[in-house]
Amino acid sequence: MKVGILSMQKVRNYGSFLQAFALKKTVESFGNEVEFIDIIPGTRITEYKITLKRCFDWIVKHYFSLHAISRWRYAVVSKRLFELFFEELGVHKHTFDSYDVVVIGSDEVFNIAQTTSWGYSSQLFGNVLNAKKVISYAGSFGQTSFELIQSNRLTEDMTNALRNMAAISVRDENSREIVWNLLHTNPSINIDPVLLFDFSRDIRKIQEKNYILVYSYPNRIKDKNTIKSIKIFAQRNNKKIFSIGSFYEWADAVLLPHPFECLSYFRSADYVITDTYHGAVVSIKYNKQFAVLVNDSNKNKLEHLLKLLKVERQIVENYSNIDSVLSQKIDYADINVIIKNEIQMSLKYLRRNL
């Protein structure tokens, strides 16, 4: 069959690349031809419109500092490298005129509470052209609430779009509740493709050892006490600090590896500190000692993941307990059993609905 994947595959983020790659390879493993579909821009919600002021404030927030030149250089190199990664992923290949099935997902494809170039696009909720069948896989509404959908008068349009799907799969309880409120039907809840897929043939070895990996969105770890706690923990344990995903001048090294090298940096790390969903996913996948800094933007999906896999204790409540969270030994025996069961259920969902 000819299958299209409608995802966030063009976002310059390691997690976005890895989830898109993993879903593509998984669907191909069932004997399908797979291509990515570009998102058709829709209506931008007032609270999240891209304005000159918002762009200026973002630039000031991220790049006006003592290390502005280094930050800019990191951003420029990152943009150039990810364009190469996108080519490798195949996001620009469009040869199908129609699709037997389109899979929407994974990650925050349903999240309208974010500043994006596409805004609210009914395409992401099921209005897909030239598709005989549409399903979703492990999609998330992120921090979107049902009240936000109602206040923007999108309830009817979103409901009608979702009705085009033959099967709906989400990744967290908040997303399940929203689908229930819109359709009065319970969707499947499935795990991220990164947990689903075996990267052993793709992962690239690295030589570095004896380090703490900090994996974060740009400039999100900025509390002075939090940074101080991380540095104290590193010094006490005689570890270097490597940063991937964000330029942090307080790290011993700031890296821009290939996505499959990024996996190796996780696998070889002694500890991982992250504030992202996929940072937690990859840490768990490779059974690492890790700590998670949860924030409002990822709370819904991240807390659901940690609760599902019984690692809620890895949440850092404040800077004072970073040391204790990283130091407590995680017993992965039961966790790996849960993951194995989730993989079986997720593969069953995909096979049944493709």
- For the cut 70, the answer to whether the pLDDT of residue 315 exceeds it is yes
Flag the least confident range among 48-57, 80-89, 149-158: 48-57
Lowest mean pLDDT among 50-64, 91-105, 193-207, 222-236: 50-64
pLDDT band of residue 64 (cuts 50, 70, 90) is low
- Per-residue pLDDT at 117: 83
Across the range 153-168, mean pLDDT stands at 97
Please tell me the predicted confidence (pLDDT) of residue 46.
66
Q: Is the pLDDT of residue 11 over 60?
A: yes
Q: What is the pLDDT of residue 54?
A: 55
Residue 322 predicted with pLDDT over 90: yes
Band of residue 219 on the pLDDT scale cut at 50, 70, 90: confident
In the predicted structure, residue 256 carries a pLDDT above the cut 60: yes
Which residue, 272, 242, 244, 273, is CA-closest to 256?
244
Q: How far lies 331's CA from each of 204, 211, 292, 328, in Å?
A: 27, 21, 17, 10
Strand partners, 3: 34, 101
Q: What is the pLDDT, as a whole number, of residue 59?
A: 56
Listed residue (80, 71, 60) closest to 251, CA to CA: 71
Structure-token match 């993941």, residue found = 305
pLDDT (average), residues 262-289: 97
Give the residue-averaged pLDDT of 249-271: 97
Please state the rounded mean pLDDT for residues 272-296.
95
**Coil, strand, or helix at residue 2?**
strand
pLDDT 10s digits, 237-249: 999 999 999 999 9
Residues 9-17 have a mean pLDDT of 93
What pLDDT shows up at residue 242? 98
Computed over every residue of the chain, the mean pLDDT equals 93
Q: Given this model, what pLDDT does residue 57 score?
A: 58
Give residue 45's pLDDT: 78
pLDDT at 56: 54
**Neighbouring C-beta atoms of residue 64, cutoff 10 Å:** 9
Tokens of 290: 């890790």
Please state the pTM of the whole predicted model.
0.93
pLDDT band at 197 (very low <50, low <70, confident <90, very high): very high
pLDDT value of residue 61: 58
Using DSSP, state whether 35 is helix, strand or coil: strand
pLDDT in tens, 107-139: 899 999 988 888 899 999 999 999 999 999 999
8 A C-beta contact, residue 325 and residue 313:
yes
- What is the average pLDDT across 331-351? 98
Give the rounded percent of residues in the chain with a pLDDT score beyond 70. Answer: 94
Query: Stretch 270-283: mean pLDDT, rounded?
Result: 97
Phi and psi of 99, rounded to 5°? -130, 140
DSSP character string of 43-105: BPPGGG---HHHHHHHHHHHH-STTHHHHHHHHHHHHHHHHHHHHHHTTT----SSBSEEEE-
| DSSP string of 103-161, one letter each residue | EE-SBSTT--SS--SS-B-GGGGT--TTBS-EEE-SB--TT--HHHHHHTT-HHHHHHH
